[in-house]
Chains A and B, each alone.
Chain A
Amino acid sequence: MKVSMFHLMPHRELPPDFEQKYKSVWVDPPFPELADAGRVGQYYNWTLDELTYAAERGLDGICVNEHHQNAYGFMPGPNLMGAALARATNGSDVALVQMGSTLPTTQPPIRVAEEYAMLDCISGGRLVAGMPLGSPMDANMIYGVTPIEQRERYYEAHDLILKAWQSRDMFAWNGKYNQLGKVNLWPRPIQKPYPPVWVPGTGSYSTWDFSAKHDHCYCFLSYFGATAAEQTMAGFWNFVSEYGLKENPYRAGFLQLVAVSETDARAEQEYAEHVKYFYNKCLHIPPHYFGPPGHQDYRSLEKGIRSGRTGKLMEQLTRLKEYSYKDFVDNQFVIAGSPATVREQLREAARKLRIGNLMVLLHIGSMPHDLTLKNIDLFADEVMPHITDLWDDEPWQNEWWPESLRGPRQQYVGTAR
């Protein structure tokens, strides 16, 4: 199993009464009232340091993502972070997992193809190319993408990017949403035929279908942990076997919040405040922000309403504020505790969900820099060595990982000057 550190790059110091005074953490929280640009610069630099440190401590990959106008994570240009990380880890064998350039919000889509190709070149072929659809907030509310068009725009952008990476000849693209007369990409990625593609989703059938059709890695990204993910992942693996694909665990990715301390009690002392900050402030989102009309296709809309799933999810979102640290830990929203506690739960979660590409969120909410480094240290030293062999007894290759990095890590530190 490959294990990567995920980072959201949140605002670490929202005021205590944030969720009482403001309607949402996303779209409309006012930057001038809530943040100082100089201090925010420090957050970005800490984030880069923490991810670089995770690489140096032996995590297989380091991940950033893209969000806009969002205090729980604001890397609107994820490839800017990717470039800094590529340089900082140059010469090492850590993967750069860009989770990633949101396709419908980058115009034209060849910009994604170009930037990813640059990252692959700068890093010596260490890119994992995440291709998110884009959240309703980022794509529809902020970037003005018409909801009912979003999926189609995504599919067209994806097809254009893959063709641009591979076509030997210059070509014209006469698409429904993009018209380009002369596509002739410079540079091209090092990895052939193209870097591994990961597709994040939140459980919809159409994303499984898309990932399977193109043989991409499907990543279930939620903040509600492994237990909540069981039904979705069971559905995914069922789909895989019906589709006739090999049940290679490396075709699945999963994100889990993780916090490690010396003991379970000490984990509560050190992390409870930050876990509560994450769920109370970072997920302070009006439920209707998830549903601009047309973002869900008709079948998903209908299924969600008739099954009651949509209502339940929205209800759960509002109930989060009532949860205690113990609730978050008992429900495995966060896997937190001593190294023994964490390694046992995490290994079991990855096994049950059949995850070959695990991502762990080791910086949570308001976690200060030093505590984050401690979490990384304990995870790298005491947890990771006990879980990376999870699928070694099965005959699978990680086809969704840079080929030159498929073995165990050897060059932990970058050698660039």
Chain B
Amino acid sequence: MTTATDTRVHTLGGRVEARVLVAGDGPPLVFLHGAMGLTWDPFLDSLSERFTVYAPELPGTSPDAPDAINGVDDVWDLVLHHYDLLDELGLDSPAVVGHSFGGMVAAEVAATNPHRVGKLVLISPVGLWRDDVPVAQFLSMAPDEVAEIAFADPSGEVAQQFLALPEDETAMQDAMIKNAWSQACAAKFIWPLPDKGLHKRLYRIAAPTLIIWGKEDRLAPPEYADEFARRIAGSRVQKLDGAAHLPHVEQQAETSRTVLDFLTT
């Protein structure tokens, strides 16, 4: 497991401080995490073998800075925060990989200023809505209910390890607080439903785009892969067996291969 270093950036006119974990060597790649917060995992390790991976934490989700979320009021602020962040890191047009809520943000960033994203990878992104295949309201579901729809094999080893809380009481409390507050911060931008108008803006994306989905995703049904694809010119869809809403966790090797192939060709 790579040890990431961290750096802090100031955005939105100094209103917000955000932590960014950095590891690896090679061209820059920005990873935007989902509603559960950032976890440095084997997927990011695999990317850091070929890229310098920058993984920013959503304002409010960095340890000891829960109030940073107060500086970001809406999706527009959030998008501008990310441009400021890229500027602070000296990144011109990195590859951007986003998962779920992070995928929505990645798409917004790629759409609003198409020149700032070189290549785009969206892993089961939220942000669109179809009444016939509604996105599950996972932020108001119990953890075990979310596990059922987010994993292809909820009782399997990979899912169980992902969901497990530390044994040590303090560490367990830390994890519970982190989970709840990460979701609180992400919820600010996708409550009660994640459609905040992204469908109007996707046409602007110029970056070559790969859309990855787990075939068994019942949180954000795989139909959305095609909804994103038909709005992003030249985009490609890859649906994976044995995966649901977290293919980069449940089928990490295949997801890594697919992403790295796409980014390096």
A144 at interface, CB cutoff 8 A = yes
Sample of 18 A–B contacts (CB below 8 Å): A140-B140, A140-B191, A146-B191, A147-B184, A149-B188, A286-B142, A288-B140, A288-B141, A288-B143, A289-B140, A293-B180, A293-B182, A293-B187, A294-B185, A298-B66, A298-B184, A305-B173, A305-B180
Contacts of B253 in A (CB 8 A): none
The residue from A144, A305, A306 contacting B191, defined by CB atoms under 8 A apart: A144
What string of 1s and 0s marks CB contacts (under 8 Å) between B8-50 and chain A? Answer: 0000000000000000000000000000000000000000000
Shortest B69–chain A CB gap in Å is 7
Shortest B240–chain A CB gap in Å is 28
A148 at interface, CB cutoff 8 A = yes
Contacts of B141 in A (CB 8 A): 288
Identify the closest chain B residue to A149 (Cβ). B188
A305 touching B187, Cβ below 8 Å: no
Per the bound structure, the CA–CA distance linking A292 and B139 in Å amounts to 7
A147 touching B187, Cβ below 8 Å: yes
Per the bound structure, the CA–CA distance linking A291 and B183 in Å amounts to 11
Contacts of B173 in A (CB 8 A): 305-306
B181 at interface, CB cutoff 8 A = yes
Contacts of A389 in B (CB 8 A): none
Shortest B63–chain A CB gap in Å is 12
Per the bound structure, the CA–CA distance linking A289 and B141 in Å amounts to 8
B192 touching A148, Cβ below 8 Å: no
B163 at interface, CB cutoff 8 A = no
A294 touching B184, Cβ below 8 Å: yes
Interface size class, chain B = 20 to 34
Identify the closest chain A residue to B188 (Cβ). A148
A140-B192, A288-B143, A293-B183 are known; give 19 further A-B pairs, CB within 8 A: A141-B192, A146-B187, A146-B192, A147-B184, A148-B184, A286-B142, A288-B141, A288-B142, A292-B139, A293-B180, A293-B181, A293-B184, A294-B183, A294-B185, A294-B187, A298-B181, A301-B177, A305-B176, A305-B177
A302 at interface, CB cutoff 8 A = yes
Shortest B90–chain A CB gap in Å is 31
Per the bound structure, the CA–CA distance linking A149 and B181 in Å amounts to 13
B254 at interface, CB cutoff 8 A = no
What string of 1s and 0s marks CB contacts (under 8 Å) between B240-256 and chain A? Answer: 00000000000000000
Question: Which of B's residues lie within 8 Å of A, judged by CB?
Answer: 66-67, 69, 73, 139-143, 173, 176-177, 180-185, 187-188, 191-192
A302 touching B183, Cβ below 8 Å: no
What string of 1s and 0s marks CB contacts (under 8 Å) between A124-140 and chain B? Answer: 00000000000000001
4 closest Cβ pairs, A-B complex: A294-B184, A293-B183, A293-B184, A298-B66
Given contacts A288-B141, A288-B142, contact A302 B177 (CB under 8 A): yes
Identify the closest chain A residue to B143 (Cβ). A288
Contacts of A291 in B (CB 8 A): 180
Identify the closest chain B residue to A27 (Cβ). B140
Contacts of B187 in A (CB 8 A): 146-148, 292-294
Given contacts A141-B140, A288-B142, A305-B173, contact A146 B181 (CB under 8 A): no
B177 touching A148, Cβ below 8 Å: no
Contacts of B67 in A (CB 8 A): 298
How many A-B residue pairs lie within 8 Å, measured between CB atoms? 59
Majority secondary structure of chain A interface residues (helix, strand, loop or mixed): helix
Segment 135-168 of A: residues with Cβ below 8 Å from B: 140-141, 144, 146-149
B185 touching A148, Cβ below 8 Å: yes
Per the bound structure, the CA–CA distance linking A148 and B68 in Å amounts to 12
Identify the closest chain A residue to B73 (Cβ). A176
Contacts of B180 in A (CB 8 A): 291, 293, 301, 305
Segment 252-294 of A: residues with Cβ below 8 Å from B: 286, 288-289, 291-294
Per the bound structure, the CA–CA distance linking A149 and B182 in Å amounts to 15
Given contacts A140-B191, A301-B177, A302-B177, contact A148 B139 (CB under 8 A): no
Shortest A318–chain B CB gap in Å is 12
Per the bound structure, the CA–CA distance linking A149 and B66 in Å amounts to 14
Per the bound structure, the CA–CA distance linking A12 and B143 in Å amounts to 33
Identify the closest chain B residue to A286 (Cβ). B142
Given contacts A293-B183, A293-B184, contact A147 B177 (CB under 8 A): no
Contacts of A302 in B (CB 8 A): 177
Identify the closest chain B residue to A144 (Cβ). B192
Given contacts A147-B187, A147-B191, contact A292 B69 (CB under 8 A): no
Shortest B183–chain A CB gap in Å is 4
Identify the closest chain B residue to A136 (Cβ). B140
Shortest B211–chain A CB gap in Å is 27
Per the bound structure, the CA–CA distance linking A302 and B66 in Å amounts to 11
Contacts of B142 in A (CB 8 A): 286, 288
Identify the closest chain A residue to B69 (Cβ). A148
Per the bound structure, the CA–CA distance linking A306 and B178 in Å amounts to 12
What string of 1s and 0s marks CB contacts (under 8 Å) between A13-34 and chain B? Answer: 0000000000000000000000
Per the bound structure, the CA–CA distance linking A144 and B193 in Å amounts to 9
Shortest B73–chain A CB gap in Å is 8
Shortest B93–chain A CB gap in Å is 32
The residue from A148, A149, A292, A305 contacting B140, defined by CB atoms under 8 A apart: A292
Contacts of A306 in B (CB 8 A): 173, 177
Contacts of B182 in A (CB 8 A): 293
